[in-house]
Chain A
């Protein structure tokens, strides 16, 4: 419903944004025509399905005649798809959006990305920009702990990542999977850098339930299937909490692993004009504001305001990981996780 109410407002913004874009009007018209001729843009995205769908619908309303094909799956599956399809010489994807910054190191290295700077990106902070201009952070989230307030009183709730190692949480935790989710791959590397692999070895002793997507722990905790989530994007917990579920978010003292999720256009994009239009659109203030307002995400857009019930990114103790390191250790992260957790 909120999405529908936002439509007129957003459309107004979009017109403004488009009008203020750097491209000269004639070039803009030509690109719009070319994009309309292409008719669609194919978006491989790791953004939660409901959020992705919302962004897609906004685009389709702003640019009638250009459809957005949303293919939502985990970051690692997206990389798998892109590479697998390329190997077979299949060109489907236009815009690639995952939560594993390491992927973009790899994709750029293999010359699979198109150099394109979305309109207005120069005002974004450095952490959201590739210095070579191939990919840009569409959104950010942090990994947090969350618990079900019906099953865990606030006083007993875990406060730190280390608290989760307490045997009292045996059989009560849920973790998502770094072999599926980029958010979790980032999380695992951040904590490995903090505490070493020993942390996960011990966490595995508490026999957490293993789900795939970083979105899923929020659902598992909300349903009460497991009272505590050992990780997961804070925006997903924020959303279930907003819906009235008994979920509380904990920002552990040691710091929260920051995940900036890049987006880029494929070098071989079959709908390159629509992809550029779409990329401009998703970095425009209105869309970035929607991501912040209704989805609970952080963004790099300097003019975006955040809901008052969410901590400022600058107030949080952030754990950062180096994308190069994430790329290099991608396989190690997956293999060792499976070694400890069994699947």
Chain B
């Protein structure tokens, strides 16, 4: 009794401090290890010369014509694929969210499929589909038309933009579909009643309301395209051009020019940070009273004669993103010669045995699963803790904590990797060569996604329920255990799945940070790509897709709803 009474008489600020201190210490330590130390080193190395500090590396980055070219290529790629992603993602979001498009649910799931497809696998599949001479589609086109020239050449900037768009438009789609889901249709109806036709309504009422989401989606897509490594490595290098990411990676060749890589990474980091700032401004300015209303009535717009053409359009996009690539991967996995038709003579299971007997593959699968599970568990746990603390405003400065957790979203994978490489190949933390450095990279990269997921989860659980529990006499921990945790369970599992999927497909950081003992599947696929082992890549790629979809199915069944309903906020390369 005495103890309890004593505890009650603590001053309130001390109580707040008690709770805050361990959380803040943990957060600060994580922040230093995950972000500040690596980025500090990155910045330092980028200005360190043999004799003291220098801006020479930056001068070279901006004056060397080859490096300039890589910068320019990246801008072109990011801008056009961002734009194209909006052109595809926005109409599809509107069609599935607001119209009587047949098969809208199916379209949604297929967009999800394209969302989780590793972009480098898509790029690789498109080499087999649209290589100018051996590409399946070009062969088909030639035999149908008798033409000499190919229909498409995937080894061009246009080809690269096309493939990058196929796997970034889902980001735009999700963002806009979510916004459309929040806009009540009363304004649109009012306009209709006043005599405006549907197109006019869409353009003058709906469009302005979703414009911030469209711009936000555009920026998110641009961020994705900026950070990609695999697709340009597969499509741009054979055509003889670099992007920033492939250039940074090639600066690691012996003799390594890590200072140059650092100096090249910093502009990329600054531009992503700037873009995200703009996006925040755009989305943060929710001046539209109609956006944000919950449970508002939404009227389904009949498409009339346009129903089937619209469906066809959506399916065409999804064929390019999902059906064709998956099909060609499956074919290559069972072919002796990938460019030949799959006849009985060309059929083989050798790719499968070859791939799985290869000693690197086996350990890579183990490594990938290990890192995936570990990062997902720690990430989901940490994200849940942070989201709980911030949504319930349990500690002083919870907004800062939320901001810090979301901050790594601006760090492209390859920049993070360069920074971690520099920071952890020297004392006191010699982590390079261990799986821990990959764990740190993955955790940092996935934290923003994980946190947004958890944040949504805890916002969805009304504090009233917890308060009721408290009023009835349960302690905070008991409430957490018996009320909050059961309600948050499915959301936390969803976070786990998102992080896991993000980790097993990660290439751009892994490619810098791996050592032979810590190879992961994506790196093995990239190695095989460099040797042109199409059959083996197809096998490993399919294996990776099966793992991914296994997790997606698990997630869907646990949640019993569309996963796409969640928010997509993380940018990850």
Contact residues of A with B, CB < 8 Å? Answer: 42, 44, 48-50, 53, 56, 67-74, 76-77, 79-81, 83-85, 87-90, 92-93, 171, 179-180, 207, 209-213, 215-216, 218-220, 222-227, 243, 245, 331, 334, 338-339, 341-343
Contacts and interface: CB of A to CB of B under 8 A. Distances in A.
Which of B354, B515, B527, B532 lies at the interface centre, i.e. has the most chain A CB atoms within 10 A of its CB?
B532
23 contacts: A48-B531, A53-B357, A69-B359, A70-B359, A74-B530, A76-B254, A88-B432, A90-B433, A90-B515, A207-B240, A209-B239, A212-B237, A216-B531, A216-B532, A219-B532, A222-B337, A223-B131, A223-B339, A224-B134, A227-B133, A339-B66, A342-B240, A343-B236
B360 A70 contact: yes
A268 to B, nearest CB: 14
Contact of A92 (B134, B237, B517, B528): B517
B393 interface: no
Given A89-B430, A179-B253, A222-B337, A343 B532 contact: no
Contacts of A212: 237, 530-531
Given A44-B516, A68-B359, A343-B241, A213 B133 contact: no
Contact of A76 (B131, B253, B432, B533): B253
A171 B239 CA distance: 10
Interface string B510-523: 00000111010000
B253 A85 contact: no
A39 B227 CA distance: 41
Interface of B: 66, 131-135, 155, 236-242, 246, 250, 252-256, 336-339, 354, 357-360, 425, 430, 432-433, 515-517, 519, 527-528, 530-534
**B253, B432, B515, B516 interface centre (most CB from chain A within 10 Å):** B516
A189 B236 CA distance: 25
Contact of B532 (A44, A76, A211, A245): A211
A342 B360 CA distance: 32
A222 B532 CA distance: 11
Contact of B339 (A50, A213, A215, A225): A225
Interface majority SS (helix, strand, loop, mixed), chain A: mixed
A53 B256 contact: no
A147 B517 CA distance: 38
B433 A85 contact: yes
A68 B357 CA distance: 12
A69 B364 CA distance: 12
Contact of A179 (B239, B250, B527): B250
Nearest to B127: A225
Given A85-B515, A93-B516, A212-B530, 6 more contacts: A49-B528, A71-B360, A71-B516, A71-B519, A74-B530, A343-B238
A225 B129 CA distance: 11
Contacts of B517: 92
A87 B534 CA distance: 34
Contacts of A171: 132
A83 B254 contact: yes
A226 B150 CA distance: 13
A220 B533 contact: no
Given A80-B254, A88-B425, A334-B253, A213 B532 contact: yes
Nearest to A85: B515
A67 B359 contact: yes
Contacts of B237: 210, 212, 343
Nearest to B155: A209
Nearest to A218: B532
Nearest to A335: B66
A220 to B, nearest CB: 7
Contacts of A93: 516
A215 B531 contact: yes
Nearest to B424: A88
B516 A42 contact: yes
Contacts of A74: 530
A99 to B, nearest CB: 13
Contacts of A76: 253-254
B530 A88 contact: no
Nearest to A84: B256
Contacts of A222: 337, 339
Q: Which 5 pairs between the two chains have the least Cβ-Cβ distance?
A: A342-B240, A216-B532, A223-B339, A90-B433, A225-B134
A44 B132 CA distance: 34
A49 B536 CA distance: 11
A245 B337 contact: yes
A299 B239 CA distance: 35
Contacts of A224: 133-134, 339
A223 B338 contact: yes
B441 to A, nearest CB: 15
B530 A213 contact: yes
B66 A72 contact: no
Given A224-B134, A225-B134, A213 B531 contact: yes
A334 B66 CA distance: 14
A73 B530 contact: yes
A30 B425 CA distance: 37
Given A89-B430, A216-B532, A224-B134, A50 B354 contact: yes
Given A53-B357, A80-B254, A245-B337, A225 B131 contact: yes
B24 to A, nearest CB: 32
A49 B531 contact: yes
Contacts of B240: 207, 210, 341-343
Nearest to A224: B134
A223 B131 CA distance: 10
Contacts of B531: 48-49, 72, 212-213, 215-216
A53 B362 CA distance: 13
B131 to A, nearest CB: 5
A80 B252 contact: yes
Contacts of A84: 252, 254, 256
Nearest to A209: B238
A203 B359 CA distance: 39
B432 A90 contact: yes
Contacts of A88: 425, 430, 432-433
Most buried by B among A220, A243, A341, A343: A343
A245 B254 CA distance: 36
Contacts of B358: 49, 53, 70
Contacts of A220: 134, 532
A220 B241 CA distance: 19
Residue among B252, B255, B354, B528 with the highest chain A CB neighbour number at 10 A? B255
A238 to B, nearest CB: 16
A127 B405 CA distance: 60
Contacts of B432: 88, 90
A208 to B, nearest CB: 8
B515 A226 contact: no
Contacts of B242: 342-343
Given A213-B530, A343-B246, A223 B359 contact: no
Contacts of A50: 354
B160 to A, nearest CB: 12
Contacts of B239: 209-210, 342-343
Contacts of A80: 252-254, 256
A263 B167 CA distance: 43
Given A53-B357, A210-B237, A215-B532, A81 B516 contact: yes
Contacts of A77: 253
Contacts of A215: 531-532
A72 B527 contact: yes
B516 A69 contact: yes
Contacts of B132: 171, 225
Contacts of A56: 359
B532 A92 contact: no
A283 B368 CA distance: 35
A71 B534 CA distance: 18
B133 A226 contact: yes
Contacts of A85: 433, 515
A160 B282 CA distance: 61
Contacts of A92: 433, 515-517
Contacts of B256: 80, 83-84
